[in-house]
Structure 1
Amino acid sequence: MTSQVLAMGAVVGLGIMLIGLGLRRRPPQLTLPGLDASGSGMRGATRRAAGRVERDLQRKQQLGQDAAMVGRTLEIHALTKLGGLVAGAVLIIVVSVMFTVAMGVSIPPMLIVACAAGGALLGWWLPDSMLKTDAEKERERFKQSSEAWLELVAQLVTAGSDEHAALNAAARCSNQPAFTAIRDALAESSALGEPPWDGLRRLSESRRLRFMEPFIAALELAGTTGAGSRQAILSQVEAARNKSLAEADAEAASASEKMGAPLALIGGAFMVLMGYPPLAGILNSDSIPTGF
């Protein structure tokens, strides 16, 4: 049994070494004629495995959007998933060996293999869950920053600035990630000779920023039909402001409702505490007169 556990530990250790060699940064080396350095050895095997996982991940659109939201490439995410898979299996095996040595209890090899497989699956799935959580947090920050950007655009438009110039000028007012992404999207559309809403739509689709779609649609409608872009921008900013206020009121109302039950319990406990002494005195048989 011990030999089987050691054999499994050796296999998992080899996997960890492959992942470590793949992640290690090395200086560029000269490639001899007839020898492909990138496709040979353990580093090449790790890179090929990561590339295969990356190609599989590219089929998942939402995963790619989440990775773009946090500024992570799919290759790095693939290596993270491979590392989590190996680490999950290794952790289960190490814990099993330590439990066997410390307690002297013989654990069936099949149970160890099954638990190691479960740990590997957990390590494979956990990076996706963490990426999704981080992406949602970044989207919330992006939403708040984009609302500030829209406020600046509205102020510039109200002051008489050109609509397209106001979009670019407001994006240059800060170096926060959201402002930088919007500025890059507008610069890309300008370099390609496209209207600004095309660059903003690519940004929204690449990061799944659904809250930007109404503003982009209104801006495109105003630009293509000849309607007033100024009024379209101001109306969308007003709609975003009203929506933010409504969400804030809803959160405040929800917090008040959640506090209702604890306050009721506290009030009931206070009434019991204040009413118990006189009630105990009334119910005490010693205080009740027995003769007349």
Structure 2
Amino acid sequence: MWTTAILAGAVIGAGLALVLREFLPSTPKLQAAFDRLGAAAADETITADRPGRHAEFGAWIERRIGFAGFMRAPDKDLSVLGLSLHAHLARKGIYAAAVLAAFTIVGVGNLVQGQFSTSIVMVLPLAFGAWLLPDILVRSKATSAREDFRRAIGTYAELVAMEGYAGRHVSEALLTAAGVGRSWVFVRIRQELNRAQLSGQQSWDGLKRLADSITVPELAEIADIMRLAGEQEVTIYATLKARGKALRVAQLTDQKTGANRKSTNMTWPLLLMGGSFLAILITPAVSRLFSM
């Protein structure tokens, strides 16, 4: 028991020492500093993550582990969730390191006591699975986030049309309508519009860039309609309102279809359950009939 405790403490202490060593101030090499400046991801400037030690740990993983840039979630999935690349890599590294340390300590402790443990054999596959787990979670959350974005686009389009009917300019209508909502979708749209305005770009170009970065074609359609209104001075607010209503109707239809599909899928379990109860009820009678 004492040997296992000492060994576990030594492994944990060595791991903490290695982690703390990376965060201690040191004199950076000039070439490494230039490499880090050139390797910064383009979408890190629009991320919702706050810079901290997680981002530093993710940057360290990107520099030291060659395959980290390939075995990760797509950039567009990270963008729709507002996650930076370094924060995502840090999460992957923490998951893998935790599983690796836990199963290694258990396996080594069993070996010291003279018992073979399967955790020694499974430690690398389990750590690799923990490394991939954040990617799976990001893909699932990104799919749900895109659905939320699409549901909000119809409302946003109709709000822009209402602002246009009130006599506002195209850019002003886009920004004012984005300021009405308080959900994360309207916040992302508002941030992108402000960024386009500060950089001297047109508002519809900012919407188009956001739509491409998060793979939401419905937002790109709204941007194209507003481009037509801004460049050719065409009154498109009736078209925009109709498009917003069409998006909402299409989403409602999809939801009804999904609900009907789920209801149909529930029929078979209910039939199976009813058949099981019927079999339980008639089994004694059938047994007595054949035993006579």
TM-score using structure 1 length: 0.69
Count of residues paired in the alignment: 263
Call closer, same or farther: CA 1:166–1:56 in 2, change over 3 Å.
Answer: farther
Match of 1:190 among 192, 197, 202: 197
Specify the code of the residue in structure 2 equivalent to 1:178: V
| Matches of 2:72 and 2:92, distance apart in 1 | 17
Query: How big is each residue's C-alpha offset from its partner over 1:135-163, in whole Å with a ceiling of 9 and x where there is no partner?
Result: 33333333333333223223334555444
| Matches of 1:284 and 1:117, distance apart in 2 | 58
Q: Hey, what does 1:250 align to over in structure 2? A: 257
| Matches of 1:174 and 1:153, distance apart in 2 | 12
| Matches of 1:56 and 1:79, distance apart in 2 | 14
Query: Structure 1 residue 126: deviation in Å?
Result: 1.8
| Matches of 1:175 and 1:54, distance apart in 2 | 40
| Matches of 2:8 and 2:279, distance apart in 1 | 63
Q: Hey, what does 1:259 align to over in structure 2? A: 266
| Matches of 1:74 and 1:177, distance apart in 2 | 20
Q: Hey, what does 1:82 align to over in structure 2? A: 93
Taking only aligned residues, the RMSD between alpha carbons, in angstroms, comes to: 4.4
Q: Hey, what does 1:63 align to over in structure 2? A: 74
Q: Hey, what does 1:127 align to over in structure 2? A: 134
| Matches of 2:236 and 2:69, distance apart in 1 | 37
Match of 1:179 among 168, 186, 209: 186
Mean CA deviation greater in 206-215 or 164-173: 206-215
Q: Secondary structure at the match of 2:83?
A: coil
Query: Structure 1 residue 183: deviation in Å?
Result: 0.9
Query: Structure 1 residue 249: deviation in Å?
Result: 1.7
Q: Hey, what does 1:241 align to over in structure 2? A: 248
Call closer, same or farther: CA 1:90–1:207 in 2, change over 3 Å.
Answer: same
Specify the code of the residue in structure 1 equivalent to 2:185: A
| Matches of 2:277 and 2:71, distance apart in 1 | 56
Query: Structure 1 residue 250: deviation in Å?
Result: 0.8
The unaligned stretches of length 5 or more in structure 2 are 33-52
Match of 1:213 among 204, 208, 220: 220
Higher Cα radius of gyration: 1
| Matches of 1:238 and 1:217, distance apart in 2 | 17
Q: Secondary structure at the match of 1:106?
A: coil
Name the % identity.
26
| Matches of 1:272 and 1:165, distance apart in 2 | 69
Mean CA deviation greater in 74-83 or 237-246: 74-83
Q: Hey, what does 1:106 align to over in structure 2? A: 116
